Amino acid sequence: MIAEDSFMTKQWIKMIRRLYEYRYLTLAIVGVFVLLGVVAWLGRSSMNVSASDNTVNLLKSGWNYMPGVSPQSDGLHVSYIGRGIVKQDGMFRQANPAINTYGTYLSTPGDFAIHGTLANINGGATIRFYDSVPIVQDEFRSETRGLELKITKNNIRVAAWGDATKRAPEKQSPVETHTYALASSSTVSLSIVRSGDKMTVNANGNNLVTLSTRNLVRDRVWLGLSAERPGDSWVLSRLEADGLKDSVANNAQTASPYTKSSSGIQALATAKRPGFLVGVAATFGPAVSDTDYARTLFGGDFGQLTPENALKWQFIHPQPDVYDFSEADALVDLARKNKLSVHGHTLVFGEANPAWVRALPIVTASDKERVKQTMIDHIRQTVGHFKGKIASWDVVNEPLADYDTDAGTSGLRKHLWYEALGESYIATAFKAAHEADPRAKLYINEFGLEDDDERWQVFLALVSRLKSQGVPIDGVGFQSHVYEPGDEIDRATLRGRIQTLAKLGLTSRISEMDVHRENGSTAQAKQYADIFNVCLTEPSCVSWSTWGVSDRYNMSLDDDGSINQGQDFLWDTRMQPTQALRSLRDMLSS
């Protein structure tokens, strides 16, 4: 054994000497391997295609999360699903055509040509090339720069859109439009060629128009496909890009999860109280297309995500027989991939319902029964679809009337659900949600419960009735919007109310907190930290959530129809932390 060991040792010494003699060659070989490793690593996720490929088939993958689109062997089948956005009074305002936000898009394309074949056109077909993802809220949608090609009957309309992000919805319109006749419109082949600051549109081999790229796509090309009138459908049988220089066809689904900072407010809160969740309402477009936003959302400050609007009725159930969960699925998928739990908002609400819901008749007993079945079906389908993925739901949102107590309604809001079913709509909704997912925690969510005493008494009486009837309700969401001076929340009052609910066997959550900055950053910061602290130190208050990531997307409609930019959140428009965020960090670190 000893002889064998010393022989091995000699062999090793010999080999090391050899390596030393040939050290430069050895280094060169190791270097080449390291370089190859780095190149492979860099190219690993973003590229579906290498930059040198000449023609890229954009239909290959990444179309499985697009509303109204079904990928099949002969191409993408596009059908009318009638997604629209209503005004606060429930009247139709704008169409909400789908974009492939969670799928294939082009990034930094430089010059390119895109060739498409629109086949089996039945009625009309629209294809759009967006420079950035439009901002979609539940009362309006702001169009961004892009090119829109709309085929109807015997013509094609080419429209160039400028950036309408800050424009009132009613004032959004294309910068220029051109309409041309088409000889045949059941199959149309299109080519869009971008060369420097010019973009040329060709249809069926004919050159239609050359536009300046000023109002069109620059950094990215997001793709939109839609059928815009009832009954319309078509098939995108070919979509290829060529001439791409530094560009790649990206697929937003394949992006890796974001790294989490260990000093985020979620981590700090967990250290103080394990299991406590710090949440935020999020919007899908920026979560995929704005990396500043996504890094902030997923970088460790939050452990829970509430889809701000994506689960509201008009987005997922746009027509009586059409459920389309694809966009909400994408947001839920992205949240779960980044290890955020999801709170569902909201199943039964007086707002954000599509026009068809608002138009349901409620005169006869059978009308009312239909309304009830429509509500139950919506809850079953939605909660069932997300079973195991969405941990808790706002089953009923804002059941109370505005600040005065409505005569004869026990203070309840007179919307369609109440008018058809009376107070029983609430118990029915909770039962349906519980049956669809017995493990989900079920909430009633309301604003103005933090201060106004009369409102609180009305609410308390309501939840007491529900509890005594054995309705499967787990807790209460205090929206905690502090919109203007005078709305400030008193700590002791809030704490008392949370404790009262705990005695009834109900948990609480601060569900939608945002605070105006009209009294300055210090007052704003104090209000945030005070309310967060009340919740964190009350055992029955299980989570605290703010109603938006940053002021960059903090937009609301003014009464005159113009768009307002608010200053209410923890990050500002430049995505820098505000004093409010620092106050939460300090409070949680002390």
Binding region for ligand XIL (CB under 6 A): 137-139, 308-309, 397, 479, 512
Q: Tell me if 141 sits within 8 A of 134, measured CB to CB.
A: yes
What is the Cα–Cα distance from 396 to 426, expressed in whole angstroms?
7
Burial class (CB in 10 A: 0-12, 13-18, 19+), 412: buried
Compute, in degrees rounded to 10, the torsion defined by CA atoms 283, 289, 295, 297.
Answer: 0
Q: Least separation, in Å, of the C-beta of 227 and ligand XIL?
A: 26
C-beta of 114 vs 280, nearer to ligand XIL: 280
Compute, in degrees rounded to 10, the torsion defined by CA atoms 580, 582, 583, 589.
Answer: 150
What is the Cα–Cα distance from 428 to 347, expressed in whole angstroms?
12
Catalytic residue among 398, 446, 450, 538: 398
**Nearest residue to the partner ligand XIL, using Cβ:** 137
C-beta of 309 vs 543, nearer to ligand XIL: 309
What are the E-state strand segments in 289-404?
304-307, 341-348, 392-397
545 three-class SS: strand
What is the Cα–Cα distance from 209 to 354, expressed in whole angstroms?
37
What is the Cα–Cα distance from 106 to 250, expressed in whole angstroms?
6
Q: Which residue's structure tokens are 């319309």?
A: 232
Walk across the sheet containing 176-181 and list its strands: 176-181, 155-161, 146-152, 124-130, 220-226, 104-107, 248-251
Q: Least separation, in Å, of the C-beta of 513 and ligand XIL?
A: 11
Tell me how far CA of residue 391 lies from CA of 307, 340, 387, 443, in angstroms: 13, 11, 8, 11
C-beta of 441 vs 481, nearer to ligand XIL: 481
Residue 139 bears catalytic tag:
no
Tell me how far CA of residue 405 lies from CA of 1, 88, 412, 457, 520, in angstroms: 96, 21, 8, 11, 33
What is the Cα–Cα distance from 318 to 352, expressed in whole angstroms?
11
What is the Cα–Cα distance from 407 to 414, expressed in whole angstroms?
10
Q: Least separation, in Å, of the C-beta of 312 and ligand XIL?
A: 7
Q: Least separation, in Å, of the C-beta of 93 and ligand XIL?
A: 11
373 three-class SS: helix
What is the Cα–Cα distance from 327 to 305, expressed in whole angstroms?
15
Q: Tell me if 538 sits within 8 A of 501, measured CB to CB.
A: no
Q: Least separation, in Å, of the C-beta of 284 and ligand XIL?
A: 12
Catalytic residue among 148, 308, 351, 512: 512
Maximal CA-CA distance, the chain: 103
Residue 512 bears catalytic tag:
yes
What is the Cα–Cα distance from 388 to 410, expressed in whole angstroms?
35
What are the E-state strand segments in 162-251?
176-181, 188-195, 198-203, 206-212, 220-226, 233-242, 248-251
C-beta of 215 vs 304, nearer to ligand XIL: 304
Q: Least separation, in Å, of the C-beta of 314 and ligand XIL?
A: 11
- Burial code of 118-137, b = ≥16 C-beta within 10 A, e = fewer? bbbbebbbbbbbbbbbbbbb
What is the Cα–Cα distance from 148 to 151, expressed in whole angstroms?
10
Burial class (CB in 10 A: 0-12, 13-18, 19+), 289: buried
What is the Cα–Cα distance from 222 to 328, expressed in whole angstroms?
18
Q: Tell me if 497 sits within 8 A of 464, measured CB to CB.
A: no
The closest alpha carbon to 78, from 116, 113, 105, 21, belongs to: 116
C-beta of 139 vs 406, nearer to ligand XIL: 139
Following DSSP, what letter does each residue of 418-463 receive, concatenated? HHHHTTHHHHHHHHHHHHH-TTSEEEEEESS-SS-HHHHHHHHHHH
Tokens of 313: 């009725």
Q: Least separation, in Å, of the C-beta of 346 and ligand XIL?
A: 6
C-beta of 237 vs 397, nearer to ligand XIL: 397
Q: Enumerate the active-site residues.
A: 398, 512
